Structure 1
């Protein structure tokens, strides 16, 4: 039995369009309605035939939906939730795909009527692409989807978990604040560093921008790939998870100073010990199946950035 028969997705960026494709592939009898504030994106979604119903009116999209998923930047969730709150069906469930959860849980709790169950979610998957052309149905296969409901044992939380499992994801329940600390380490800080190092390289007076682009070997190219991610989405992530990011950034700065000291004093033993330990962690990530294979597949099936609704 399907967890939900009628689903609405608000925002047709990478995650929203991938959700639409995954639902069509794995739950073809589900009636899907999608919405994006951009008429151009809606037109493209219709061309791609990603859903039965497409509208640029979010409130219209959620009428009669059993599950509503907000696939918009974290900073837009409160406004979108307020826009659709009055049209949410009794007994429906609202979720999202943002990589910050504490602020989302607060926004939805303050906005949604009592007859709507709130189950915030975060599929830990993505590429640097955006827009409806960038999505692909297998994006969530073998990836973690973290759910942060107030009550993990609630029927709504179990339904949303079953929904993601049908899409091929592995589901984990987690406290919202703990989620934000974990993602600050595994996602938010790496993005911040990638944005920073690209900015540093482009600002060096002795190295031209053309040289940075021309001679970007594997290390710079691979590390800075995520700096191509949507700037609005990541602006909202850092503003909404500022405490956890700042805490981790402080710790990272201390570790970087220690590394700087080891290089200055020729302390090869310290450098090798660090590199050996971190190499083992990287290998564990590969063994866990959370490397870039899925993202590489997405790039080979994705397209140019397009549209306004983006993943988080």
Structure 2
């Protein structure tokens, strides 16, 4: 059990990440009191049954009252509305953060909605599964994963202290913490997460639309690569819809580069340029080995669960 870092936290939205934060914070003893606000009555009832929150409500203002840390864990296009609902009740000196996969637009939405007396420190834990809802949370989800913080360009001691405190909170959940500019974050994530998800959604959709191959055949004869794509493509559609709308500039930039590379690969296959293909496959294999060496080979930790069921 660690030392308490925030006496009271409020989590707005209790899906995979929100419920994982609560489970991890409870297990590691870094909070005393947890309030949860969720728009879904079904979710609220389930959170009460699970018993991991001290206060469960549909009222965001009620949840954030007297909270030392407020974590917005809603889809990125809903951040501004959630922050507006929280703003009147947030106490001065509290920290507001989020867990969204896009940082530029979220930072702007939080800054526009929240009072100057609140420390706004956008964040993004690079962890997750394709599952959603309060039952999907894992206390171990953040272990040895990266959390990226994108602080505002402030240098006052109080704000810098709030950044250090939030980093200690995430480290208390087992994560590694990095800081970067929000626009750079969005470009990096467009490469490492958003484009792969877009490809997965597209290739699974292509397979489903092929008249020459039945859906039963797609399911029956799926090789490992296609199964991996279907796992990614099973992710929360609302969350990913919002990601692509909110991060469209970075995604379109990376998608343009990807399209050019794909056309070059198509030409190499068409003209039988085996050396070019071998060079590419060799280079990409080294990237995979580097990911494994860094301990980041899986976005979904396997804690004794049968991954074949997911």
Tell whether the structures are fold-level matches, with TM greater than 0.5: yes
Distance in 2, matches of 1:175 and 1:16, equals 24
The corresponding residue for 2:26 is: 24
Q: Does 1:178 align with 2:184?
A: yes
1:158 aligns with 2:160: no
Q: Deviations over 1:187-246 (max 9, x none)?
A: 000000000000111111101111111111111101331100000100000000000000
Once the 2 structures are TM-superposed, how far is the Cα of residue 299 of structure 1 from its aligned partner?
Answer: 6.1
Distance 1:244 1:116, change over 3 A: same
SS at match of 2:194: helix
Say whether the 8 Å CA contact 1:127–1:298 is kept in structure 2.
Answer: no
Match of 1:307 in 2: none
In 1, the alpha carbon distance for the partners of 2:49 and 2:32 equals: 20
2:42 and 2:69 map into 1 onto residues whose CA distance is: 25
RMSD: 1.7
Q: Does 1:201 align with 2:207?
A: yes
| Equivalent-residue separation in structure 2 for 1:161 and 1:298 (angstroms) | 29
> What's the offset of the Cα at 1:297?
3.5
User: 1:295 & 1:128 partners in 2: Cα distance?
Assistant: 12
Distance in 1 between residues matched to 2:251 and 2:31, nearest whole Å = 41
1:76 to 75, 78, 86: 78
Gaps of 5+ in 1: 305-312
Structure 1 residues 151 and 159, CA gap change in structure 2 (3 angstroms): farther
| 2:253 is equivalent to residue 247 of structure 1 | yes
Distance, in Å, in 1 between the alignment partners of 2:64 and 2:163 is 19
Q: Distance in 1 between matches of 2:141 and 2:240?
A: 20
Pair 1:275-2:277 in alignment: no
Residue 147 of structure 2: SS of its match in structure 1? strand
Query: 1:192 maps to what in 2?
Result: 198
Query: Within 5 Å, which residues of 2 pair with 1:31-180?
Result: 31-151=33-153, 154-180=160-186
State the secondary structure of the residue aligned to 1:224: helix
CA contact (8 A) 1:4 1:30 kept: yes
* Runs of 4+ deviating beyond 6 Å: none
Deviation per CA, 1:28-58, whole angstroms, max 9, x where unpaired?
Answer: 6521111111111011011111111111111
Q: Distance in 2 between matches of 1:223 and 1:212?
A: 12
By how many angstroms is 1:90 displaced?
Answer: 1.1
Q: Deviations over 1:115-154 (max 9, x none)?
A: 1110000000000000011111000000000000114761
Counterpart CA distance in 2 for 1:291 and 1:43 is: 35
Contact 2:19-2:134 within 8 A present in 1 as well: yes
Pairs within 5 Å for 1:283-302: 283-292=289-298, 294-297=300-303, 300=306
| Contact residue 129 and residue 299 of structure 1 kept, 8 A | no
1:197 & 1:117 partners in 2: Cα distance?
Answer: 42
Distance 1:169 1:257 in 2: 39
Q: Is the CA contact (8 Å cut-off) linking 2:8 and 2:31 kept in structure 1? A: no
Secondary structure of the 1:95 match is strand
What TM-score does the superposition give when structure 1 sets the normalisation length? 0.94
User: Alpha-carbon deviations, 1:74-130, whole Å to 9, x = none?
Assistant: 011011111111111111110000010000100011111111110000000000000
